[in-house]
Amino acid sequence: MVVGIVVAVVVLLVAGVVGKLYFDYVDEPGGGPGGEPVAQCALSDSLKQQAHVSSFRLIQAPAEAEKGMKQTHCAWEQTKGRDGRNPRTIHVLVYDYAKFSDKADRNEEMAEGNYTSFTSYASGSQAKQVDGLGDQAMVVIPSSSTDLTEVNLLVRKGAVVWNIRYFGRDRGFLSDSAFPVDDAEAVARRTAEELVR
């Protein structure tokens, strides 16, 4: 009788753990459809589909002041039930120095300094120059856990700097795993190609 009760309790515990793992596995991440994107962060439908993101969130709007650096920070995240069960996110930070001062050369120098400050920490095989994007571009693949893929793409064109970060993971039943870095690089590059004009 006691052995039967112990076995029943163990079976219930195992079933509970397996059930929780299963429901976590099949539950899709994301929230609502988000807001209307600002021009600095607007992406094509085909890119959003490739990146598995469709929900826009404006984190920081640029200042309304006539002079000074204009910073925009936005994110593209998943819409629950639309973008799949593997979490993905694109963050875009735009540092626009075009109206920092009345001197165009000074504005471009400020953007160059901003770009250099971002790229100065990147070295070795995790960072490489990228041709064909803006005046300067570098992709950085930070060291991260084995269950996360992350790519940062830094681009400067004239007096504007873009910092594009695409990251996510593939969900598994017992544990998550990274997805191919080449896929993440392709999304980050295409994001830059659409935003850097």
pLDDT at 172: 87
Asked whether the beta carbons of 159 and 181 are under 8 A apart, the reply is no
User: Which tens digits make up the pLDDT trace of 108-121?
Assistant: 999 999 999 888 77
Total-model pTM: 0.84
**Residue that wins the pLDDT comparison between 14 and 48:** 48
pLDDT of 21 higher than 50: no
At 72-82, the pLDDT tens digits run: 999 999 999 99
Mean pLDDT of 168-173: 90
Which tens digits make up the pLDDT trace of 55-108? 999 999 988 888 889 999 999 999 999 999 999 999 999 999 999 999 999 999
Output the pLDDT for position 19: 47
